[in-house]
Structure 1
Amino acid sequence: MGSQSLADDLSAALVGVQRLIRRRLRRGTTAPRLRGAEVELLRLVVERPGIGVSDAAKELYLAGNSVSTMVNHLARDGYLIRETNPADRRAARLLPTEAAEARLRDWRERRTALVRRQVARLDEADRKALEAALPALRKLAENLHEEAEET
C-alpha cells in the first residue's frame, strides 16, 4: 500500500468512525445539539478554566469572532460563564458551569461504553491490531498538533 493510499484510507476510516460515534451518541441525548467546535471549546474551558477568548481561539485554531459567537451561545445555554478578567478589564475569562462538566462527563462515559461494546465485538486479532496501532495514532495526533502550531 502506497503512502497516498494509506493516507486516504486512514483519513476515511478515522472520519467515518468519529462521525458514526457522534451520530450514535446524539440519539441518546435530549439536550440541544452542540456543534463539534462548541464541544471542543467546552473541553478546553473545562481543562483550562479562566482561559480567555483570544487564547481559546488560538488553541482551537479558530477566528476570535467565531469563538466569541460560540461563547455567547454556550453562555446563553448555561454551559459557560463569561466574566471580566481582573488582570485586564477589557478581556474576558471563561469558566465552565456544572452543566457543562456534567454534559462532557456524560458524553465521555457514553462514548467509552459505546466503543467498548464495539471493540468487544471484534475478534482477538482485530483487537490486538487496534491496540498495536495506538502508539502510531498518538504520534500522528502529536505531529498534527505540532504542525498546526507551526503555521
Structure 2
Amino acid sequence: MPDLDALALRYSRIYLRLHRHLDRRMAAQGASLARAKMLNFIANNMPVRAADVADWFALAPRTVTQAIDTMERDGLVVRVADPADRRAKRLEITKNGEQVIRQTEPLRRELVEQAFCLLTPADTAQLERILDKLELAIETRLEGPSDQS
C-alpha cells in the first residue's frame, strides 16, 4: 500500500515549487503572481464581489479589500454598484487591468508548459483523470453539503 501521506506531501511540494517559480519569474518582469491570479479570477467570473474573491482564494476579507484597494488605486479594477444589492459592490476589470493580464499571461503559459513538458499526451490524460478523482473525493467526502456555498 502506498504511503498516502507522502503522496499528499509530494503533491503539495510540487504545487508550491511551481507557484514560487511562477512568482519569482513574474516578479523579475515587474509583475505579481498574486495580482495576476486575482485579476484573472475577476475577469473570468464577472460579475464578482470582493467576498467571492476571498472565498475562492481562502483569504481573509480584509486581505482582499487591501488588495482590491491597491488594484483600484493602480487603475486595474473598479468597484461598481451591484444592481441586485445596492449595499454591495461588484468588481470590474479596467482596460489597464486587461493589459496587465495580456502582459502576464504569456509568461504564465510558458512556465506551465515547461513544468508539464515531460508528460506525454497519455500521461496528461491520466493525470487529468486522477485529478478528477481527487477533486470528486474532496467535494463528496471532505466538503459535505454544509461546506458548499
Q: When the two structures are superposed, what TM-score results if normalisation uses the length of structure 1?
A: 0.73
What runs of 5+ residues in structure 1 fail to find an aligned partner? Answer: none
CA deviation map 1:91-149 (0-9, x unaligned) = 211101122222223322212223435655x4xxx546752323323543565577568
Correspondence for 1:10: 11
Q: Whole-Å Cα distance in 1 between the matches of residues 116 and 84 of structure 2?
A: 48
Q: Tell me the C-alpha RMSD between the 2 structures.
A: 2.9
Q: Shift of residue 21 of structure 1?
A: 2.5
What runs of 5+ residues in structure 2 fail to find an aligned partner? Answer: none
1:13-32 matches, within 5 Å, as 13-27=14-28, 29-30=29-30
Correspondence for 1:83: 80
Correspondence for 1:140: 134
SS, match of residue 83 in structure 1? strand
Correspondence for 1:67: 64
**Mean alpha-carbon deviation: is it higher for 132-141 or for 97-106?**
132-141
State the AA in 2 paired with 1:20.
Answer: H
Assess, with a 3 A threshold, how the Cα gap between structure 1 residues 52 and 141 changes in structure 2: closer, same or farther. Answer: same
Q: Shift of residue 60 of structure 1?
A: 3.0
**Mean alpha-carbon deviation: is it higher for 39-48 or for 129-138?**
129-138
Assess, with a 3 A threshold, how the Cα gap between structure 1 residues 118 and 89 changes in structure 2: closer, same or farther. Answer: closer
SS, match of residue 131 in structure 2? helix
Asked if residue 109 in structure 1 is aligned to residue 103 in structure 2, the reply is no
Q: Shift of residue 68 of structure 1?
A: 1.7
Size of the aligned set, in residue pairs, is: 143
SS, match of residue 136 in structure 1? helix
Q: Whole-Å Cα distance in 1 between the matches of residues 79 and 132 of structure 2?
A: 33
Correspondence for 2:44: 47
SS, match of residue 51 in structure 1? coil
State the AA in 1 paired with 2:55.
Answer: K
SS, match of residue 19 in structure 2? helix
Provide the identity percentage.
24
